[in-house]
Each structure stands twice: as C-alpha cells, then as structure tokens.
Structure 1
Amino acid sequence: MTNKNYGEGKLPEFPESFWTDSTELPNFPRLDQDIHVDAVIVGGGITGITSAYLLANKGLKVAILEADKLLNGTTGHTTAKITAQHDLIYDELITSMGSSKARLYYEANIEALEFIKKTIERDHIDCDFSTQDAYMYAATEEYAQKIEKEAKAYEKLHIDGKLVDAIPLNITVRNALIMRDQAQFHPLKYLQRLVQNITEKGGLIFENTVAVNVETGKQPTVLTRDGGRVTANHVLACSHFPFYEGLGLYSARMYAERSYVLAAKPKSKFPGGIYINAGKPTRSLRSVTVNGEEMILIVGENHKTGQGIDTMKHYEALEVFGQEIFGLETIPYRWSAQDLTTLDKVPYIGAITSDQPNILIATGYRKWGMSNGTAAALLLCDTVLGEKSKFQKLYTPSRFYANPSLKSFFVENANVVSHLIKGKLEITNLNPNMLPNDEGAVISINGERKGAYRDTEGKLHIVDTTCTHIGCEVEWNSGDRSWDCPCHGSRFSYTGDVIEGPAEKPLQKYDYKMIDNLLSEDSGY
C-alpha cells in the first residue's frame, strides 16, 4: 500500500483505490501481431470484461484491447454499489421518455443486479457481495418535495420502494426513499474471476494496446497506435469514452464529471444500507471491509472535469462530513473517479450509427456503472448474437428526445465554448523555478501557456497545456496530480500521457535541455 503514514485527521498523501490495491490481477501482453476474432472488445472495465465473458461462454472467439491495465480505469475507482436507485431519475424519465421506457430502465438495472448475484452464486466468487437496502434522503424542503415526486414515480412504475421520514444514520433528514434489496460488492474480486473464465475459454486479452481507429466494412478492423490490426465481425467500444465516434458526435452529446472517495475507519458503527442524498453537494455512503475491518466509503463532491476549486478541498470536505457523522479514526485510502453523462441521462448502448450495425458502443453511465455497465454487456451480447432485446430502443445511441436533450445540448456546448475561449485568454506570470516539490501550476514561458509540475524529488516536468482532442486548455488537478480538460474531460498525467479520453495523443513534453533553453530565453525570469 502506498499510503503508509496516515492517522486521525490526516488524508493519505497519494491517491490510491482500495479496489486496485487489494487485488492482484495477471499481466497480459501488448498486441504485437494482426489477428482475426469474432468480436473485438475495446476497454477492460466492467462492460468489456462482462461482454467478453458472455460471448466467450457462447463459443465466440473474443479479444479485449486495453489501453492501460485491466480494471485500472473507472471500474477500478467506483463506489461499487449495485443498484437501480440512480438519484432522482424516474420522475424525470417519465416526463421525458414516458412510463414504459422509465420502467424498462429500472428493469434493465435490476436484471443486471440479478445477473451479478447469480454469477457470484454459480461460480462461488468471494467478492464481499451483500444485499443492502438503498436510501435516498433529503436534507432540505426543496429536495423533500422532489423525493415525494420520485416516490410517486416509484408507485407508478411498480418499483419496490417506501417513503420514510428518518434513516438509520446520525443525519437530520426531511424524508427519504428506500429501494429494497439492492447490493454492494468488491468489483475487482468479482471481475477477476470473469477474466479467469475468459482466458480459460480461449479469449485473448492485450494490455498497453491503444485502439485509435476503425476501418469500417462488413468485417471492421480496429487499428492500434503501434500498428496492430484486429479484424472481427463485431467491434464493441467499451472504453469509457468511445475511442471511435463515427458520425455519432459523442463529444458534443456527453459531459464528464469527477467525484471523490475516502475509505475511512469510523469511531461509531455503520448501520448497514447504502445511502445517497438528493441535492448538492453529493454525499454517498456504504460499508467496506479493509484488511478484516469494517470501514466506510464516503463519496461525493461532484463537479465537471477540469472545472471548480482546488481538488484537495473536495477530499477535505468529505473528511469533515465523515467526522461530523461518524468520527474517523483513520483514512487509509482516497481516490477519485470520472464518468460521463448523456443529454437525457440514459446511457448510449448499441450500434454507433444505423449504417454501421456491427460497431457497437456503451458509454454514459452517469456514475452508476456497476448496474449500467452490466446491463450494457447483456444488451451488447444479445446484439452480437442476433437476439432481440426489449431494451434496444431505450438505449439506442441514435435516439433524441427534444426535452431535455435539446436544452442540454446547447447548455453543454456553450460551456465547452466558454472554457475554450477562457483558456486561450488566460494570462499567468508564474515562474516555474518557484514551484515547491510536489506542486503543479499553469506557467508562462516566452509568453506561451505551459504546464509545470515539480515532483517529490525536485525534477521539473513541463508540458504544453493544449488538449490534443479539440484544443481546449487543460487545468492542474492537485488532488490527483494530473492535467484535466474542462471541455470534454480528457485527463493527462503530469508527464503528459493520456489517462482518460476522448484525447488519444499525449500532451507535448519538454525535456531538460528544452526546459533550460526556454527558461533562459524568457526575459521575465
């Protein structure tokens, strides 16, 4: 574990996910040859792995291409609730899509929960799975009224729920809505077994293999950054943000949000259940077993990627909340996560465009990836096998509902334009030589905007701050030591390497000699 020195009132120095730290996954090679399979799956998270598991068990030859390491992305940084209670969603879906589709959304996520539960039981997977009631609570009168409307939506859709006026936590609430028999688990221990099954069935897995494009046709071919080619009957883009957009314009139809997680040992006992508030700032809670001890995950502080306050303050706000409710003895882990939201808040799952039916995508889970991601895999599998699904029209990526999609489209793209302009006009006179160790900032060299980070050993890393996606200017994320784009959520390490798309190319880097020359040429230093 990286975070050795932690104690009461102290956040870990470095971000690290408990899920990834507590699971040993096998290593897989980089793709170094051209191959042909029945289905190529891009992305090694819950959707990609579950899809490969389903298809391999149907006798198909599958290959997974993962740009980094399996389960090191959004799935490895989840809260790992498995639930169909996705904030205030059902009343909104009834208004925008109608009762039938709202009910289908619920059914898809409940079926995903049941699939996970049955898979765990059948394969005897030890992954800390437990059934929990889900609570959504309101602390203000405004949101109490919204929860009452949501409760009426539950009743209309025949969802097993109940409106109550208290919850078993030391939190004063106006009311709360319970959804019975939801669940939680250790996602990587669960998916680790699915990975084992995939390889036993002859499935191929490649890590550090970046997919960059698709040659379309009856048998499309995925092209990798290193020149590899994977030809298949179907391409499944399960890579968080679709690595290939076709004509879907997904960059303009989704936005990225970050949230933050603390794993903490409470002084008071956690009563069970999984919780989330209605309103802002988001507060989400569940229990977790860490080294044999019961701890809690404290989650929230959502904001658009690359926008907002110093990111460490989000972790600090969660710590304050945890201290007030439970009292915290230790905080062994902190990490952050990122996910995408579509125009109408329902994921895009299915054919990328109507004229490319064998190129499928799954994206836009709105931070509910354990259920939505599994539902996506089930639907993708049906599509590949030519089987009909009652969920196909609900999730089709080509759908468009004027309300709320039209308004969301203009709002989000106006936000992109404003940040594109703002970043280009931003002026800074910060001298990189004055940066302390382990701090980063936007600097100016010869009048040009650059990004600088001085690591813990004093080495200076300078990158160009222009995102390689559409040219927005990235901002420094101090909590995770990364450069984040406020336009479409691309993220880069302090050395400029891509952490999350849609960007595919790294930021331009400057070596020591280039840095010295730039600094010596800048008359301001």
Structure 2
Amino acid sequence: MHSGKFLSFRPRHQVPGPPCSILHNRYMGVAAPTSEEAHMVEISGSRGDLPGRHESYWMATSPETAFPPLDGEGRVDVAVIGGGIAGITTAFLLKQAGLTVALLDAYRIATGTTGHTTAKITSLHRLVYRYLIDRFGSKKAKQYGDANQAGIEMVASLVRDYNIPCSFERKPAYTYAEFEEERDLVAAEADAARSLGLPAAFTDEVPLPGRTHGAVVFEDQAQFHPRNYLLLLAGHLPGEGSYVFEMTRALDIEERAGGVNVKTDRGSLSSDYAVLATHYPIYDRPGAYFARMHASRSYALGIRIDEPFPNGIFINAGDPVHSWRSQPTEDGDLVIVTGVAHDSGTVTDTRAHYRNLETYARAIYPVASVDYRWSAQDYITLDRVPYIGRLAAGHDRVFVATGFQKWGMAAGTAAGMILADLILGRTNPWAEVFDPLRFQDQPEFPEKVKKRLAAAGGAIEIDANRIDRETEAIPPGEGKVVEIDEEKIALFRDEHGKVHTLDPTCMHMGCTVAWNNAERSWDCPCHGSRYGADGRVIESPTVRDLKEKEVVRK
C-alpha cells in the first residue's frame, strides 16, 4: 500500500476539532456557507401550506460540519466516494486497519439519505426472509440476516467504545398485520426468520392503537440519532495521511493497472481502490445498474402526540406501507411516522403526500403538533438484496454499496464491514449473497443515450402567445415541464416572477425530469437524479447540471 501523502493540498476551511467536541455546539468551527450550500438552502425552503418545519429532525439537532474541499492532486490507499453510513463506516474501518483513506462528499457528509432516514437499526425488513429462502436458499438467506444482525452489533460496539452520545437504544422491532388475511404471512415470516437463527417470534400482542392481527417481532433491535453517531466517527478520519473532503463532487473514475484515479471538480485522487457509496453508483461503466434498480421516495413527519408512545419500532406488513418509532428529546418523545412511497419523479403533486401522511397520523394518534417534515430517496434492487462488493466482472479495484431497500442503517454498516474485508483480502462470511456479480446477464447500455445528451440544451423558436400562456399559469416558486411544437421545456418561475427555462433532459441517461413541488426540485423518474429549481445537481447519479434552453419568441 502507498503512503497516502498529498502532493498539493491546501485546506480552505478549518476541520472540526477533537471528535467529541463537534457534538457540543451546532455552530462550532463552521465556515461561511459556500455558494453551493446557499443554493441547497434556497431550494429546500419551507412551504407555508404544509405541516411542520421542512427539515429532518436529525439535521436540525446535530452540528454542522466544515471539512475542507479537495484542492489539488494526491494519493491515498482507498478513495471512498459518498459520506453516508456505508461510506463513513467503510472509511472508518479501513483506517482502523492501518490504511490511508480519503472520504469525499459532493456536499456535506451525512446530509443525503442518511440524514433523512428513520434511523431504525434492524434486521427485520418487513416480510423478507420467507422470500429470501425461496429465492436464494437458506444458506444465503441466513447470510443476509446475519450481516444485518452484525451491523446492529457493530453500531452498538462503536457507540460503547467511543462513548458516542447518539441516543442509542435497544428496541423490539415489529412487522404487524393490519388485516386478518395478512396474519398467515406474518406468522410464516416469523417461522422463516426463526429457522435462520434470528431473534424472531410471533406475537398477538402489538402495542399500537387499533386492532391488529399479530406480528413478527425481533428482540434487541435498535434505534439512534444517525448524524450524531456518524459525525463522531468521521471526526476520527482526518490525520495520519487520511482526509475528509466535503463540497467535492466526484465526476468520473479512471481504472488503470495497479489502481484508480478519481476525477473531481476540485482535483483528482489516485488510489489503490475506490469505493462507490453514492447511493446510486455515479460510475456505471459496465452499464448494469441502470437496469437493476429503481428509486423510491417516501415521506416522514416528526409529530408530538398526547399519550405515551409504546416501546418498539413498527412497520406494517401490507400496502400502503407506514412505519412508526419514537425519538427522545428534551421536550419529550418525538414520534416519527413515515409512508406514502412512490417511484421518484413520477408524482408532481408531492405536497399531497405530506398532507395524506398527516391525515393518516391523526387517524391513529391524537396529534398535538407536527414539528418536522422531510422525505428521502432509496434504491430498490431487482431481488430485494443490496449490491455490495466488486462493481462488476473485470473491475477488481472498484467496489460498490447500493440498493439498501430503505433499510440502510444495519445494512449500510454491514456493507462497510464487507467492503473492508474484501479490500484487505480477508474472507467475509456474508459477502456471497450481496455480490453484485450474482446477475450473469449484462444489459446493453443504450447507445441512443449519448445522442440524446449531446442534443440537450440549445435554442428553440416558440410562438410567443403559447409560451406566454404556459408561463402565466405557473405560480411563483413553482415549475412545470411543458411541450410546445414537440419541444419539451422545463419552466420555473422564481419568487420574483422571473421565468427560467431549462432543457428537462436528465444528464445521466437522457430521461425527462419532472417537477417535485414539495421539495422544489426537478426529479428524474428513471434513476433518481435530482436537480435544484435552477438546474444544478443536488443528488446523483448525475454529475452534470441540466442545460439551459434558450427560448426565442416568434
């Protein structure tokens, strides 16, 4: 392995001080917001017609970070791209093993899906074990369960060993039947999980309001404050040839004999290995992942209720899916309820999902207030198992962790353990079931995508009356994709009334983006890329902004 010494590195911001100190003061060591961060704040602003503060509880109650961006060229043993739970855990374990690492994040670490999770740390993933046994056999189903159980115990041990103040609590986890016809499914899940050695049982006692019809329950599961946990781990990374680089967007990876080169918008990193922990891999040279995952968006409310919340974390077995958990705060328990999931980029009136979730919550509990609201994007794989391991055949120095199916806390931690073992040349007992190479067929990457991306942007002539009718119908702060004379245009009217025109062609693979009115973003329905109202990238897999579309009136 190489020394990891940087050839040209000049920090622009002060890195937070000793790891434990960053949890004591939200604004300690925080640099002034960059233009990119100011942009992020602007596009995620509050909407007065929706319940609660538009921010996840975890983001609102944890310190901000101020790690520097990359500045120049350098080398480390392993470059880890993506600062969520999988990336931070991988980097932490590799550094603990004696390697030099660089953790890169396009914005600030633990602000993506990890910063908007429900933060359940559990191996009970609704009704999965009966399915896994039928599809993969008991051996691999057990690997899946054991990996997630190990993820729980790894979090518990790190919290204990590093005395991390992150509200870590052991809780029983329930998947419950709301209807009589779901009872047999829940009972079968309990039997399947128990046969794999998991801490499973069937119970008729579900401590939730209203009638239920039994549940599978796993004892000794857990919950925590994910950002307070991860920021402390990340605080241990800088030093001894290792780094955390924020506000640094990875653009591409160049594979070559003996290593890789990660190209970013701030410079480049050479390393022996690269890890893609970017949710959806930004580097998909085999062209396999675009056909093997889809993005799903779900919504959360942080509410106060007028009665005690029961001990446990809960999710229902049927559809539509809703989950419940509580979080201790200085003002008493905050109850987190989630649900109303949909494929990303396929729904434009996303504000209705927040309202529907509030209506559901009020039908179950006496809600005193709605304090927070947020949404998160997750990736769903073809066979309900994450992809963790080598990116593809012939790509032995690039690793990936993605497709956590909305269960990323335990599975993302397990991913860090698996990837650290693979990079260090150690045998991992669970790697087989998660291996991305389990699909032998390679989908063909569409050549027409290149032509579509090359044609994006430019100028078009449009009848003045038609464009005026379209733009006048858009209220300030809203956007819409319109089609005029067979040309699609993404229109956004800002708060000052000015209309901005963009090409709605997603710069990942050429799909047409849709307006998300709750988050004020352009979302891609194909692979979940997201852009701000002004077209700037806010979520991968895209690494390029939407192109401007000049409208020439005729």
Query: Is contact 2:348-2:515 (8 Å) kept?
Result: no
Deviation per CA, 1:149-186: give whole Å up to 9, x if none. Answer: 21221232122222122311113212211111100000
317-326 or 78-87: bigger deviation = 317-326
Matched ranges for 1:34-433 at <5 A? 34-226=73-265, 228-247=267-286, 249-308=288-347, 310-400=349-439, 431-433=470-472
AA at the equivalent of 1:376? A
Query: Is contact 2:47-2:54 (8 Å) kept?
Result: no
**Residue 479 of structure 1: CA displacement?**
1.2
Q: Distance between the aligned counterparts of 1:32 and 1:237, measured in 2?
A: 21
Deviation per CA, 1:494-516: give whole Å up to 9, x if none. Answer: 11111222222111135xxx5xx
Query: Is contact 2:70-2:266 (8 Å) kept?
Result: no
Query: Is contact 1:281-1:300 (8 Å) kept?
Result: yes
Unmatched runs of 5 consecutive residues or more in structure 1: 417-427
483 and 346 in structure 1: CA distance in 2 versus 1, 3 angstrom threshold: same
Deviation per CA, 1:375-430: give whole Å up to 9, x if none. Answer: 0000111111111111121111100399xxx9xx99xx9xx9xxxxxxxxxxx986
Q: Distance between the aligned counterparts of 1:56 and 1:158, measured in 2?
A: 32
TM-score by length of 1: 0.88
**Residue 303 of structure 1: CA displacement?**
1.0
**Residue 362 of structure 1: CA displacement?**
0.6
Deviation per CA, 1:277-312: give whole Å up to 9, x if none. Answer: 011111000001344331100111111111146211
1:422 aligned residue: none
Deviation per CA, 1:119-168: give whole Å up to 9, x if none. Answer: 00111110011000001111123322221221221232122222122311
State whether structure 2 residue 36 is matched by structure 1 residue 18: no
AA at the equivalent of 1:463? L
Deviation per CA, 1:424-468: give whole Å up to 9, x if none. Answer: xxxx98611332222222234665221222233434333211111
Q: Distance between the aligned counterparts of 1:68 and 1:446, measured in 2?
A: 38
311-320 or 92-101: bigger deviation = 311-320
**Residue 488 of structure 1: CA displacement?**
1.5
**Residue 104 of structure 1: CA displacement?**
0.9
Q: Distance between the aligned counterparts of 1:48 and 1:193, measured in 2?
A: 14
Query: Is contact 2:147-2:414 (8 Å) kept?
Result: yes
477 and 291 in structure 1: CA distance in 2 versus 1, 3 angstrom threshold: farther
AA at the equivalent of 2:63? E
Q: How many pairs align? A: 493
Query: Is contact 1:275-1:285 (8 Å) kept?
Result: yes
Deviation per CA, 1:223-272: give whole Å up to 9, x if none. Answer: 33436221111111111111112315111111110110101111222112
Query: Is contact 1:347-1:364 (8 Å) kept?
Result: yes
Q: Distance between the aligned counterparts of 1:201 and 1:487, measured in 2?
A: 41
What is the root-mean-square deviation in Å for CA atoms of aligned residues?
A: 2.6
2:30 aligned residue: none
487-496 or 433-442: bigger deviation = 433-442
State whether structure 2 residue 482 is matched by structure 1 residue 443: yes
372 and 113 in structure 1: CA distance in 2 versus 1, 3 angstrom threshold: same
AA at the equivalent of 2:215? A
AA at the equivalent of 1:139? E
Q: Distance between the aligned counterparts of 1:255 and 1:4, measured in 2?
A: 27
Query: Is contact 2:76-2:242 (8 Å) kept?
Result: no
Unmatched runs of 5 consecutive residues or more in structure 2: 1-25, 27-40, 450-465
1:497 aligned residue: 536
State whether structure 2 residue 505 is matched by structure 1 residue 466: yes
Query: Is contact 2:388-2:402 (8 Å) kept?
Result: yes
SS at structure 2 position matched to 1:465: coil
1:453 aligned residue: 492
**Residue 6 of structure 1: CA displacement?**
10
2:3 aligned residue: none
262 and 150 in structure 1: CA distance in 2 versus 1, 3 angstrom threshold: same
